[in-house]
Structure 1
Amino acid sequence: MKIGIIAHLKHPIQLPFKGGLEAFTYHITKHLSNLGHEVILFASSGSSSELPIKPILSDKHYDNKTGLRKKVKDLPSEYVAEHHAYHTLMSTIDDYQFDVIFNNSLHYVPITMAGMVKTPMVTVLHTPPFYEMELAVSQERKKPVINYVTVSNQSKKNWSKLIDDCHVIPNGIDINSWKFHKKSDPKTYACWFGRIHPDKGLHFAIAAAKLAGIKLKIAGGIADQKYFDEQVYPLIDDSIELLGLFDQTQLNDLIGGASVCLVTPVWEEPFGLVLVESMACGTPVAGFATGALPEVVAEGTGFLADPKDVEGLAEAIVKARKLDRQAIRAYAEANFEIKDMVDKYQRLLEEVAGLTGIDAALKQIAANAKQSDNDQKSPTKEFDLLRKAGALKITLPGAALDFNKKNMAALLTFLKDVGKANLSVGRIYEGHINALYLIHLYATEEQKHVWFEEARSGMLFGIWNTQAADGIQITGRVKQRKIKGSKTFCSGAAIVKRALITGNVDDAERKGWQMMIIDMDKIPSRSIDSNSWKPMGMKASGSYKVDFSGYKLVDSELLAKPGTYLTQPYFNGGAIRFAAVQLGGAETIVEHTIEYLNSLGRTDDPFQKTRLANMVTQLHTGLQWLEQAGKNYDTWVDDPNKFEDLIAFANMTRVVVEEISLVIMSDSNRCVGARGLMAPYELERLNRDLTFYLRQPAPDATRIKIAEHFITQFTQQNA
């Protein structure tokens, strides 16, 4: 993957670390790079040269001792400088062509601008909610495009009022880089390390150590001078030793020699890397039961007191010193190894980028295409593969092909690839995408939450519009509506869980052509007529007749107002999606033709070369049409002045792909001869499937509409 990591800019990402976020960013960048990913870290200029840095903020005025940026006349404030650094980055980040953005900035600008970029984003919430982030996240959630992660269940809970689908990946450290100390130093002492800041509660640790009668050694930089001067310094005496900022080797010796490590946050500590670093050294923990500490400090690794309870903390110090250091180290190894953390992030990044096993899934689907055609059963196995690969949720908010972003060209390419693997699977999958798109366009926020969560859980959606002779009617009074009638050509009828269907309604509240989403688990199997599907091609699509008679509708299943289904430009403009699947079928015919000729040693024949040249030229013409159709859709779909142009181009794309496919099949048959129409040769199935799938409604009317559009346009331009 190509990954863009956004760091926070308060401190450079360098050793020794100012805090846990710097350590996390440093290690995740190194590990992802070592795994072979192409990584760029956007950070301040003073960050470690060991990392693949792209500086976005100068550290010229950064004071390494205080961890502050010096105020210089005419120099913008830290706030404004960070704002412009992130704004500039987000304005150009798509130019890097990342597969995914990995945002660790804890800044509102990347979140606020996430909806303006095409690249999918993962954002890690390393802290409890604070004002600027709350505002940004609350706005982003109105039209979600980001995948959120946090570091503990407690942190997830803290963010739950704003984010209801946050992943949890606990932090980890390189356990082997921390030397285990079987015994503590004979000169008994406790240690405390971290940023000297009010949030970390050092003054409580000092008071408790004195009460417990144990020396306390302190390592860390002063992050808040006023706090240090007023609440820490007055407590310093011979029992307290200030050591300053340590590197990891020095910290390892300090922690490992301590009989107990004090961890005293007075805020909602989201994780607490100091806990795990202490455990890695074998040193037990005494701390406050706040934030994620009760989650991280398991039985046998430490004792926790109520927050700000000095006496309770002193008792915890005494008890913790007696714990088994070897067991503490073993617990850290089992639960907080950085390789496990990196693996979880890598899987999530791949999923968000749309790379999780999809290529492998499509290869397996292609390999099984012949068998699925022979079985004439629904492609259950194929959709299990797509489900596991994340393809059923690839267009949901925050995913790689999120509908909220301008991704139509990429979506068309993906639909083509699915069609290339198996046209029947492609037809059903296109229906899934179309249904989710209509939900994206027209559903209420409450409906989106329900249906998108169902898709995220792996449910397959479908869309069936073709009326049977006994077409769909919605009968009954308001609140007591029932469905009467059937749909035909219901692709994937046996495996679709949520079917978007249309039918006529005429009651006191609604009149016209109504969309509704049906729970297929409530449709009895006898209502799905598999005997109605006896086609020449596309057998595996299982496009049966389904009788919905007797289904009791509830209001929450009604999608938008009657008549919305035919809204332009979405109705006709959607033709580019089935055209993409068709072109995938044509592409695989080209490849199988070349493969067949290679097997016979016939690719040197000049007549075969001529035919292949024509096939490949036709294919690449289609690919260019498809790419431009996607770009035009993204550019024109929000501009009412361009709706007619969008519809015309979609119609032309549909027509061109049909004609290209017919030419490719014709030339393939000339190349291969009768075998292209004979089982068990693969080309026989491919020709049947594509021939059948090209038979879409109203092909001649579509051509007439194209002509009318350009005649009108020409007449107006020359009036």
Structure 2
Amino acid sequence: MISTPVGAIGTGIGGGVELTLSNIAQEMSRRGHIVKIVAPVGSIVKDVPVIEIPGELQTPAQNQTRDEPIVIPKNSVLANMWDYARRVQLDYDLIVNFAYDWLPLYLTSFFHCPIAHLISMGSLTDAMDDMIEQIATNFPGTIGVHSLTQAQTFKFADKCRSLANGMDLSIYQFRSQPNNYLAWVGRIAPEKALEDAVAAAKITGIPLKVFGVRQNEEYWQQICQDYADASIIYEGFLPTAQLQQKLGECRGLLVTPRWVEAFGNVAIEALACGVPVIAYNRGGLKEIVKDGQTGFLVKPDSVDGLVDAIKCLDKIDRLACRQQAEAEYSQQAMGDRTEQWFRNILISH
């Protein structure tokens, strides 16, 4: 399993990809598969061996424009990881690519070992769309996505395998009685629109706990300046065990993406703790939140919509949130879907 090249696993820079990779690797290992992870130096995954590769990190794709050219830095960690994979490929039945990047897709036809590509984002750049489509056409069944909504951002949606995600729910403790806080979890960067959550929290007068890596420090400082009188509590980037404990204390989670989120791991994490999710009605979140039952889907980019939903949080049964997570997003359920995808690729190779 070859990780994202934008940051070491465990730093939070890779966003939801880090958690998805860790969960899949741990579940496949639990099922008796021999799993190794190739990742940038400093990566840590519990109970799974990690081969650490040095090199320069890649620029995250979500920061690029539609017609951005392909850029590979000098001594690229992405190139170094895939050079390592090339050398050891015959020792493995399958390579799983977690990088949303052009290079691994391009290299697919040069490898003898089959490659499964789990695409973590919707359509962002023309170069990526074209390359994903080439692989989807020439290597049928090898493109996996997290949601049908994500797949539909591509012209070749029917060639993508929707897998959803899953968590080890034993890590997440159900909390029936919250404290008077709201939560926001994610990379602190413009496409996540934290300022909308802050504005909504300010209007309702409920303090907002913010969890995540400050990926864009200038953006964070601007929010603090613009909303100096808002009650924001920055909790930092926390390991899962600590995050779920603090998240579970909150009345609701606000998820406010400006872009099409492929899935939304934080929404599952909240539900697992019994925390209702208030999300913009776009991207994979549309497939997770059951409007009126486990949270609310509101008009995208509408702070008023967030405010109205916050006022209705007490109508949501927190136990129903946990039950949805158990029924649809357990690690076992995710493992079944992912393992079958891997088997199908091996059978057709």
- Do the structures match in fold with TM over 0.5? yes
Aligned: 1:55 with 2:52: yes
Q: Which residue of 1 aligns with 2:260?
A: 268
- Evaluate the alpha carbon distance shift between residue 147 and residue 6 of structure 1 in structure 2; reply closer, same or farther with a 3 A threshold: same
The one-letter code sitting in structure 2 at the alignment partner of 1:266 is R
Within the candidate set 27, 31, 45, 1:31 is matched to: 27
Distance 2:245 2:15 in 1: 18
Match of 2:193 among 194, 201, 215: 201
Instruction: Return the letter of the residue paired with 1:291.
Output: G
The reply on whether 1:151 has 2:140 as its aligned counterpart is no
Q: Distance in 2 between matches of 1:146 and 1:106?
A: 17
TM alignment of 1:493-532, pairs within 5 A:
none
Deviation at 1:79, TM superposition (A): 6.8
Residues 438-490 of structure 1 deviation map (CA, whole Å, 9 limit, x = unaligned): xxxxxxxxxxxxxxxxxxxxxxxxxxxxxxxxxxxxxxxxxxxxxxxxxxxxx
Separation in structure 2 between the aligned mates of residue 178 and residue 101 of structure 1, nearest angstrom:
30
Are 1:339 and 2:332 an aligned pair?
yes
Aligned residue pair count: 334
Tell which has more relative contact order, 1 or 2 (C-alpha 8 A, sep 6+). Answer: 2
Unaligned stretches of 5+ residues in structure 1: 63-75, 355-398, 401-719
> Paired residue for 2:235?
243
Match of 1:8 in 2: 4
SS in 2 for 1:276: helix
Instruction: Quote the Cα distance in structure 2 between the aligned partners of 1:256 and 1:122.
Output: 35
Could you report, residue by residue, the CA deviation over 1:305-334 in whole angstroms, capped at 9, with x for unpaired residues? 111111111001111233111111111111
Kept in 1, the 8 Å contact 2:208–2:232? The answer is yes
**1:665-684 residue CA offsets vs partner (Å, 9 max, x unmatched):** xxxxxxxxxxxxxxxxxxxx
Find the partner of 1:168 among 159, 162, 167: 162
Aligned-partner Cα distance in 1 for 2:100–2:304: 35
Match of 1:124 in 2: 118
Q: 1:237 to 1:223 in 2, by over 3 A?
A: same
1:183 is aligned to 2:177: yes
For residue 42 of structure 1, give the secondary structure of its aligned residue in structure 2. strand
Following superposition, the deviation at residue 91 of structure 1 comes to 3.7
Aligned residue number for residue 84 of structure 1: 79
The structure whose Rg is larger is 1
Check conservation: 1:13, 1:43, Cα contact below 8 A: yes
Rounded Cα–Cα distance in structure 2 between residues aligned with 1:103 and 1:153: 20
Gaps of 5+ in 2: 59-70
* Contact 2:105–2:135 (Cα < 8 Å) also in 1: yes
Match of 1:95 in 2: 90
Decide whether the 8 Å contact of 1:191 with 1:254 is kept in 2: no
After superposition, give the CA deviation of every residue in 1:244-265 in whole Å (9 maximum; x if it has no partner). 2222232122211111111111
Greater per-residue helix proportion: 1
Matches within 5 A, 1:380-391: none
User: Structure 1 residues 31, 292: closer, same or farther in 2, change over 3 A?
Assistant: same
Match of 1:252, SS state, is helix
Once the two structures are TM-superposed, the CA of residue 86 in structure 1 deviates from its matched residue by 4.4
TM-score, length basis structure 2: 0.88
Aligned partners of 1:232 and 1:168: how far apart in 2? 38
Write out the 4+ residue segments of structure 1 that deviate beyond 4 Å after TM superposition. Answer: 15-18, 76-80
Q: CA deviation at 1:24?
A: 0.8
Q: Given the alignment of the two structures, is residue 107 of structure 1 paired with residue 101 of structure 2, yes or no?
A: yes
CA contact 2:141–2:161 (8 Å) conserved in 1: no
Distance of 2:83 and 2:314 partners within structure 1:
51
Q: Are the aligned partners of 1:90 and 1:117 in contact in 2 as well (CA < 8 Å)?
A: no
Q: 1:232 to 1:290 in 2, by over 3 A?
A: farther
> For each residue in 1:507-551, what CA deviation from the matched residue of structure 2 results, as whole angstroms up to 9, or x when unmatched?
xxxxxxxxxxxxxxxxxxxxxxxxxxxxxxxxxxxxxxxxxxxxx
* 8 Å Cα contact 1:306-1:312 kept in structure 2: yes
Contact kept in structure 2, 1:123 and 1:146, CA below 8 Å:
no
Equivalent pair of 1:288/1:307 in contact (CA under 8 Å): yes
Identity %: 28
Counterpart AA for 1:151: H
Alignment of 1:410-449 (within 5 A): none
